[in-house]
């Protein structure tokens, strides 16, 4: 007998029929003698609908109230799934984040989990019930409802698996595992049987939305056995996120390609090239809680420097405004911004022991006439910023150039 935490995403619970399917799947695990906790998302499209509704009242919704609204989608699905389970003779009980409770900090719309009370869950499992928990939501010390950021049900599931010391956390979604890149963009993408935790962390942080990054961080911290699988297929082992690099994996120099459209670039031109300038530019941006990603500083003319950096697209107007305020103070010549940019990244632990990976990437993009605006690297990834209109082309040609199209045995 094992203790399994399963998470079903929005598409997997998108219709009453699909919810009944999930119930049948859960019932099968239960019938095999396992204890099962199920974490569910809202029905697909529901969270978007709720957020759009809030925006009709307030262009920039009050974050606390937005969480009150956005969290309701999951409350519906836990009720529906529990009913579907009971209907086929499986004892089940539903919990919202605050009934459990799942305690978080008070950063509305992007709250962090602080602790999970597992008393009720354990008692229910002991009593033979399936526990159905609402993903994406928690409660802070003041009793306010919080949400964990888009895609946060993954994190709820992994955190619950960690708290219960579950044998496995299974993320059921609309693809049958983690692919070499988003299969919606590159149909030739291949499913990976295994991916290392470090690679998955990079892929998630560089834009692959198959797992929310915080769920991967949790899995790493608490060594949760994490697997991504399809909720639509009966067979298949999905993709296992592993903590060791096996021999076979070391052969793949590049394991995957991630991309992110959520980027905007800001250029500050002609600032005096002197100590402290990076701080004077980025300090106010950081104070405004805007996350800066890639940074480039170039030597310009006459003792000046050009400074570029990227921020999330939704924040670029705010970042531009902040810089315009400090423009005279820092003595900048010109500030401009471009929100039609995207980041493409190649990821692989094999890069540690191979040279020439970055140059293959640059050559491949050059051959397609794709201009690289910024570059950043780490031990196991190379990212480039390009014009958004070339994004899909870039992902496709890189996927091919690194041999990811072919089956590798």
Binding site for Mg ion (CB under 5 A): 9, 151
Distance CA 31, CA 102 (A): 28
Q: Which of 6, 47, 82, 231 binds ligand ASP (CB under 6 A)?
A: 47
Question: Which tokens hold the place of 312?
Answer: 């999330």
Least distance in Å: CB of 66 to ligand ASP?
12
Binding partner of residue 179 among ligand ADP, Mg ion, ligand ASP, none, CB cut-off 5 to 8 Å per kind: ligand ADP
Least distance in Å: CB of 189 to ligand ADP?
7
Least distance in Å: CB of 196 to Mg ion?
21
208 binds ligand ADP (CB under 6 A): yes
277 binds ligand ADP (CB under 6 A): no
**Element holding 198 (H helix, E strand):** helix 197-205
Binding partner of residue 402 among ligand ASP, ligand ADP, Mg ion, none, CB cut-off 5 to 8 Å per kind: none
Would you call the peptide bond into 204 cis, given omega within 30 degrees of 0 as the criterion? no
Q: 275 and 281 in contact (C-beta within 8 Å)?
A: no
Least distance in Å: CB of 9 to Mg ion?
5
Task: Tell me the number of residues near ligand ASP by CB under 6 A.
Answer: 13
Least distance in Å: CB of 228 to ligand ASP?
13
Residue by residue, DSSP assigns 270-304 as EEE--TTHHHHHHHHHHHTTPPP--EEEEE-STTE
What character string, x for contact with ligand ASP (CB under 6 A) and - otherwise, covers 15-44? --------------------------xx--
Name the residue among 237, 251, 312, 232 with its Cα closest to residue 18: 232
173 binds ligand ADP (CB under 6 A): yes
Question: Where does 51-155 show beta strands of DSSP type E?
Answer: 92-95, 102-104, 113-116, 130-134, 137-139, 145-147
Contacts with ligand ADP by CB under 6 A lie at 9-12, 41, 151, 173-175, 178-179, 181-184, 208-210, 256
């Amino acid at each position: 007998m094992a203790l399994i935490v399963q998470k079903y995403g929005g598409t997997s619970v998108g219709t009453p029929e699909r919810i009944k399917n999930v119930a049948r799947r859960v019932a099968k695990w239960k019938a095999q003698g396992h204890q099962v906790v199920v974490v569910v998302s809202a029905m697909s499209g529901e969270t978007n609908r709720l957020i759009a509704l809030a925006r009709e009242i307030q262009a920039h919704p009050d974050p606390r109230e937005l969480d009150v609204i956005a969290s309701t989608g999951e409350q519906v699905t836990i009720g529906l799934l529990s009913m579907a389970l009971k209907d086929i003779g499986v004892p089940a009980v539903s919990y919202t984040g605050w009934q459990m409770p799942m305690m978080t900090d008070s950063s509305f719309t992007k709250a962090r989990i602080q602790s999970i009370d597992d008393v009720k869950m354990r008692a229910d499992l002991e009593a033979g019930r399936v526990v159905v928990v609402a993903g994406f939501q928690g409660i802070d010390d003041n009793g306010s409802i919080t949400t964990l950021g888009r895609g946060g049900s993954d994190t709820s599931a992994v955190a619950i698996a960690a708290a219960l010391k579950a044998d496995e956390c299974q993320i059921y979604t609309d693809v049958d595992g983690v692919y070499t890149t988003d299969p919606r963009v590159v149909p030739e993408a291949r499913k990976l049987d295994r991916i290392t935790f470090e690679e998955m962390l990079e892929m998630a942080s560089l834009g692959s939305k198959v797992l929310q990054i915080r769920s991967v961080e949790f899995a790493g911290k608490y060594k949760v056995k994490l697997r991504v699988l399809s909720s639509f297929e009966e067979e298949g082992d999905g993709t296992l996120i592993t903590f060791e690099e096996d021999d076979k994996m070391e052969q793949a120099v590049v394991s995957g390609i991630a991309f992110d459209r959520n980027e905007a670039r800001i250029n500050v031109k002609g600032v005096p090239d002197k100590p402290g300038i990076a701080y004077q530019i980025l300090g106010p941006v950081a104070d405004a809680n805007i996350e800066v990603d890639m940074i480039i500083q170039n030597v310009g003319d006459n003792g000046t420097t050009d400074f570029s950096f990227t921020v999330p697209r939704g924040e670029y107007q705010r970042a531009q405004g902040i810089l315009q305020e400090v423009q005279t103070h820092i003595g900048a010549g010109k500030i401009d911004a471009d929100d039609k940019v995207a980041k493409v990244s190649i990821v692989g632990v094999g890069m540690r022991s191979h040279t020439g990976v970055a140059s293959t990437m640059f050559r491949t993009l050059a051959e397609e006439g794709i201009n690289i605006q910024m570059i950043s690297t780490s031990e196991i990834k190379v990212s480039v910023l390009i014009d958004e209109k070339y994004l899909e082309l870039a992902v496709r040609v890189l996927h091919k150039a690194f041999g990811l199209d072919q089956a590798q045995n």
